Homo-oligomer: A and B are copies of this chain.
């Protein structure tokens, strides 16, 4: 696939998606105070960010509202309390997991909602259920994306088949999701080429959501972008589950479009996210996450390990070997 753009010019197709509240919410069960969310919204507007993901539209049948902060559920009224009628250029996104969202009830017609984009998260074996959600949301007037998780574990033929099905749906954007932080840049570029080949055929966009288990989230994001990907997920301070995500401040500093500015995000880091870390919210590159990334496996054992405060990495590496091979 031909390289798109170069290191000095502007790519008009680029869209930066701030996923801090959604992926970062996995670190603190979505207990963000309104001041933080409001400050982040305003900073994203100033920074030229294109989309801000507020959280999940999680099913209240499956999850108890008392156990989580409100951004697990993203009631339209709660979003409106932050953004009002949102007269800014920053679009609002939420994530809806296949099988864990009462989309027919909880996703209301777009004309009555502050939300612009519904991001539908699926594994490769639940594509038909995802298509049902895509069509429901599209009919209600939303832009949609399909975020195929754990793609480092999927085989190429299955990915092609899934994308061909999705190409024929109403979805606007295909997303490469490296849930395990296992992809190397060479693999990210190769996946980007496959996604873009099918996306071009069906006039869809392609995005990437990377994890930082091997300190490659930023590298994979810009390498996929250089090939053809245009929707780029990032989070402030890299906040996100386990090793976290592509840091928004690295991405904004890299992009050449003068509308993107890193400084408003620096303020959020110094005023908010560093304090969250000091208060014990945990995320970011660490040896246990590196190991699950190298093993191309779910970060679950690493997350438990880090929570326990253990630092016997050598022993953990042996335990992990047993977990994976048992």
Residues of chain A touching chain B, judged by Cβ–Cβ distance below 8 Å, are: 7, 184-187, 212, 214-220, 222-223, 226, 247, 249-250, 253-254, 262-263, 266-267, 269-270, 274, 285, 287, 290-291, 294, 311-314, 317
Chain B residues with Cβ below 8 Å from A263 are: 314, 317
Q: Which residues from chain B contact A253 at a C-beta distance below 8 Å? A: 214, 290-291, 294
| Interface contact A249-B287, CB-CB below 8 Å | yes
Given contacts A7-B187, A185-B219, contact A317 B287 (CB under 8 A): no
12 sample A-B contacts, Cβ–Cβ < 8 Å, listed by A number: A184-B222, A185-B223, A214-B254, A215-B247, A216-B218, A219-B219, A219-B220, A253-B294, A262-B317, A267-B313, A270-B314, A274-B311
Number of copies: 2
Interface of A is mostly: helix
Q: How far is the CA of A187 from the CA of B7 in the complex (A)?
A: 9
Tell whether, in the assembled complex, residue A270 and residue B312 are in contact, meaning their CB atoms are under 8 Å apart: yes
Bound state CA distance, A250 and B291, in angstroms?
Answer: 9
A37 to chain B minimum Cβ distance, whole angstroms, is 20
Q: In the bound complex, what is the Cα–Cα distance between A253 and B253 (angstroms)? A: 29
Would A219 and B215 count as touching, CB distance under 8 A?
Answer: yes
**CB pair A226 B186 closer than 8 Å:** yes
Between A212, A216, A254, A312, the greatest number of chain B beta carbons within 10 A of the residue's beta carbon is seen for A216
Nearest chain B CB to A202 CB, angstrom units: 28
